[in-house]
Amino acid sequence: MAQAPLLAGIQAIAEPILADRSLELVELTCRLQGRQQIIRLLVDRVGGVTTQHCAQVNQLISNALEAANVIEGSYTVEVSSPGLDRPLVTKRDFERALGEELRMGAAQADGRVRELGGMLLAVQHEAIVLKTPSGNVTIPFGDIRGAKKAIRW
């Protein structure tokens, strides 16, 4: 089966299962490892994903794929979270991080990159609003030069 139709078929089966559990599909990949297909789903949700979430939806998606018979041959389904240190790239990534502390770089008019840290207050149509120690800062998406959740140990 061609890659695009295979991924579309898997996604059509997985998304309703994920949506029922308030989970969102962040990334779906399928690759051949030896003679076996590895189906990898990265899922996320506001508040994060636990290993219990991953185990539960892994079983449900595996059962649904088996019943639908969309994958020829042997395969393994892997469900995991994107990880704590994953870069925030898309608008949806920032929406999931609302209320969280971020570390990021923002392009300045002179070409330099300003390092910022603070709580993500809002995600607007074209920008984010970050609460920093010196006040609220609005940063257009086009000016963001790397952003991650701040991890506290």
The answer to the question of residue 152 being in a domain is: no
- By residue range, what is the domain housing residue 70? 3-80
What pTM does this model have?
Answer: 0.70
CATH of the domain at 20: 3.30.300.70
Q: Please give the pLDDT value at position 46.
A: 77
Flag whether 95 is in a domain: yes
Considering 80, 108, 137, which residue would you say is the last residue of a domain? 80
Inter-residue contact 101 to 118 (CB < 8 Å): yes
135-140 and 127-132 strand pairing: antiparallel
Residues 52 and 105 in one domain: no
Number of domains in the chain: 2
Q: Among 28, 61, 80, where does a domain finish?
A: 80
What is the average pLDDT value for the chain, to the nearest integer?
A: 91
| Per-residue model confidence as pLDDT tens digits over 78-137 | 999 888 778 898 898 899 889 999 999 999 999 899 999 999 999 999 999 999 999 999
Q: What is the pLDDT of residue 141?
A: 95
**pLDDT of 93-102, one tens digit each?**
899 889 999 9
**CATH number for the domain that contains residue 134:** 2.30.30.100
Percent of the chain exceeding pLDDT 70 equals: 97
Least confident of 36-50, 51-65, 113-127: 36-50
**Are residue 8 and residue 76 in the same domain, yes or no?**
yes
Are residue 51 and residue 99 in the same domain, yes or no?
Answer: no
In a domain, 153, yes or no: no
